[in-house]
Amino acid sequence: MATSSPRPTGEPTDLVTHLTDQALGHLFSAALRTAAHLRIADHLARGPRTPEQLAEATGTHAPHLRRMLRLLASRAVFHEDSSGTYQLTPAARLLRTDVPDSLHTAVLMLTDPLFLRTSEKLEETVRDGAAPFERLFGQPLFQYLQGDERARALLDDGMTSLSATADEAVAAAYPFPETGTVVDVGGGRGGLLRAVLRRRPELTGVLVDQAPPLARHLLDDDELKGRWRTEEADFFTSVPAGGDVYVLKHVLHDWTDERCRDILRTCRAAMAPGSRILIVESVLPPGNAPHFGKTMDVAMMAVVDGRERGSEEFAALLSSGGFRLTRVLPTAATPSVVEAVAE
């Protein structure tokens, strides 16, 4: 006798509405981007406002603004009360520009046409196995950024915004040594290195990246004075030697396995046997469990030919680069810490 397949846990009962709502997900993304551009959260920071009051403050059409806010409120971004006024929710608070953990610039980055256009070409990506970014913009992403200051600033600021909470979570979750030197390879503006050095007052650090992010680094802090330096380098060719712990945060997911092995070998050449390397990235769980890394994996596929990986994939990649994976530590944020030892 034929039997029906078991219904997955959490599957909606109204599949038609569920699927069509997912198909229209781009409208929610567009509404979120519009709210960030209009700085609606900043206008609500002092208390609830009606759509009419918000429209006057932002120079928009009140009835249409209300309809957009209603959609966002249906997913806990803003809240409409019984009187028709809107107020901040915990998620909407992160859209404010004046809070330390703001995701305002991250939202603007992730919804920018630079990335939306590549998503529109996902079918081509799946068919031919190549990221469409170069076909759309004439160059691979990182080369393109060198000639587009707006895009480079958007990416630097957006990644700094997106990483802020993760930086603190990683610094808290991993037992960095009390003394020695941490080398943050491809560390951007240095948010993670700053968080680590604040927690370990005897540690020193080296922030390694290209000139544009280094010029806007975040390490000018009185309590860190004299404990850090920046160094411009190409992690495909060389990184500073002599560190005790090397960190690659959100670096490997930008690259194919072959290019990742090049990066790891460069790091290994600078490291003494027994020193450690930390890969800070999403570690994909098996099966059907939801995970933000699975979304980012498709984004990497569309933009840079990169990928997110599972623990076994990290182990194989590290082994080919001269390392032995020793443990994977979860954090309070999305990324985990994959620790390996130089052999």
Residues acting as catalytic residues = 253
**Are β-strands 203-209 and 228-232 bridged in parallel, bridged antiparallel, or unpaired?**
parallel
Residue listed under structure tokens 């999403």 = 282
Residue 291 burial (10 A CB sphere; 0-12, 13-18, 19+): middle
- Size (the chain), residues: 343
Rounded to whole angstroms, how far apart are CA atoms 284 and 199? 28
Q: How far is CA 230 from CA 214, 307, 319, in A?
A: 7, 28, 29
Kind plus residue range of the DSSP H or E element containing 262: helix 257-270
Question: H-helix or E-strand containing 230?
Answer: strand 228-232
Enumerate residues 6+ apart whose C-beta is below 8 A from 210.
232, 234
Q: What is the C-alpha to C-alpha distance for residues 334 and 283, in angstroms, rounded to an integer? A: 9
Paired residues of 278 in beta bridges: 247, 339
Enter the tokens of residue 253: 């997911």
Could you tell me the end-to-end alpha-carbon distance of the chain, in angstroms, rounded to an integer?
57
